[in-house]
Amino acid sequence: MTETLGTPIQGVTLYSFTRASHQREYDLEALIRKVAADGYGPGLEIIGFSSFRGFPAIDDSFAGWFKDLVAEVGLTQTSLAVNADIGIHRDRLLDQDELIEYMRLQIEAAAKLGFPIARVQISLTPDSMEQLAPIAEKNDVTLALEVHADQYASHPRILALRDRYEKVGSPRLAFTADWGATVTGFAPSLLEAYRRRGASEDLLAQVVDLWNGYYAEGPPANQQVHGQRFGSFIGLAARNGRPELGIDFAINGTGLFGPARVEDWLEIMPWVRHVHGKFFGIDENHEEPSVPVRDLVKLLVENGYSGAISSEYEGWHWNHWQSPFDIIRDEQAVQRSAASNAGSRMITDNAEAKRVLAAHLAAPVPHLN
């Protein structure tokens, strides 16, 4: 625990509103205006390949329009989520030079659009991150590699990245902590979605029991264990006469609901420069029933974290019956309450958010003890 409590910046990723944008209910401008007007910011995260046509090619006039819009409505750009599309050619994976070039274009797009952080993904190895560090430094963009289920902070692949960061010593190499790695239950809203698809209560109870067993064991030690767990959800569905639900159980049960403990984040905390406040729903008590939001915010505050938390609502995949806007409003209220209970607060003022985020990203390069 550090002596100074953190003041995380409230924010949202537009990914949370995928269903509304996909159905053309809000275009990019309308959605950004709504985020500002309804108080989901000030932090604003966007996925490049979701929201910018032609990405990563961004022309000057578009970049100008975009930055003017964000300034006008009073938001603070946090992370541009970029993708390591290593399998873009169907018959082979990108070679190392191609991958670095593919990422360079997106890092430059982040800089051009005014994002100080680029969220990158696990398919980038320690060697790739080391190669990308000078590109990130040149563009003044922090590369925050997302730690996402089925990975977790103390997973060997993540520790190898952390150790390389320590060796390289670049201020622009970092992590995004995705709360989906530290979940405490199989999301009730997804169980409700399965119920609506005709899954029996007995089957759903077995799914919950299987997941709870893995939670008790802790996160998978390696890919082999991960694979066994994945297969066990498929087997469960098959044994219960619902084989068509098996892949869905498996993908969500292992890839969305990661069973690491909240304290696991301490393994990489000094390098966490961005957070995805991943969550799946809000219950009748206005709490998140399967993501320990309060414990996670407390951990961040007590460890001096003053970066952004992008509320990342993932329940849109299956929840057709509730408004994502109401759900995200309630989840952010939980975050603010948790920060207050921890003796601090979430930052919701735009000018303050800009100052705090700039200081957060300018913090000294961490070192392992």
Of 54 and 364, nearer to other proteins (C-beta) is 54
CB of 86 to other proteins, least distance (A): 6
Q: Interface residues with other proteins (CB under 8 A)? A: 15, 18-19, 21-24, 27, 47, 49-50, 53-55, 83-90, 92-93, 121, 123, 317
H or E element that contains 45 = strand 43-47
Rounded to whole angstroms, the Cα distance separating 256 from 246 reads 15
Rounded to whole angstroms, the Cα distance separating 130 from 160 reads 12
- Say if residues 231 and 152 touch (Cβ distance below 8 Å): no
Q: For the chain, how far is it from start to end, CA to CA, in angstroms?
A: 14
Of 280 and 305, nearer to other proteins (C-beta) is 280
Catalytic residue among 89, 148, 317, 320: 148
CB of 333 to other proteins, least distance (A): 25
CA angle, 192 then 195 then 198, to 5°: 160
> Helix (H, G, I), strand (E, B), or coil: what is residue 161?
helix
Of 23 and 285, nearer to other proteins (C-beta) is 23
Q: For residue 250, which of 150, 122, 147, 179 has the smallest C-alpha distance?
A: 150
- Say if residues 280 and 187 touch (Cβ distance below 8 Å): yes
Whether omega before 38 lies within 30 degrees of 0, making that bond cis, reads no
Task: Give the 3-state secondary structure of 205-244.
Answer: HHHHHHHHHHHHHCCCCCHHHHHHHHHHHHHHHHHCCCHH
CB of 270 to other proteins, least distance (A): 27
Contacts of 342 (CB under 8 A, 6+ apart): 5, 297, 298, 301, 302
148 is catalytic: yes
Tell me the sheet residues that pair with 308. Answer: 9
Rounded to whole angstroms, the Cα distance separating 237 from 252 reads 13
CB of 279 to other proteins, least distance (A): 17
Retrieve residue 140's tokens.
């003044």
Which alpha helices (H) appear in 96-200, and where do they start and end?
A: 96-113, 126-139, 156-168, 188-196
Of 76 and 83, nearer to other proteins (C-beta) is 83
Of 55 and 175, nearer to other proteins (C-beta) is 55
Of 85 and 267, nearer to other proteins (C-beta) is 85
Q: For residue 186, which of 277, 261, 249 has the smallest C-alpha distance?
A: 249
CB of 363 to other proteins, least distance (A): 29
Residue type, 188: P
Q: For residue 314, which of 11, 17, 21 has the smallest C-alpha distance?
A: 17
CB of 93 to other proteins, least distance (A): 6
CB of 291 to other proteins, least distance (A): 20
Of 18 and 206, nearer to other proteins (C-beta) is 18
Of 49 and 65, nearer to other proteins (C-beta) is 49
CB of 88 to other proteins, least distance (A): 5
Residue positions annotated with a catalytic role: 148
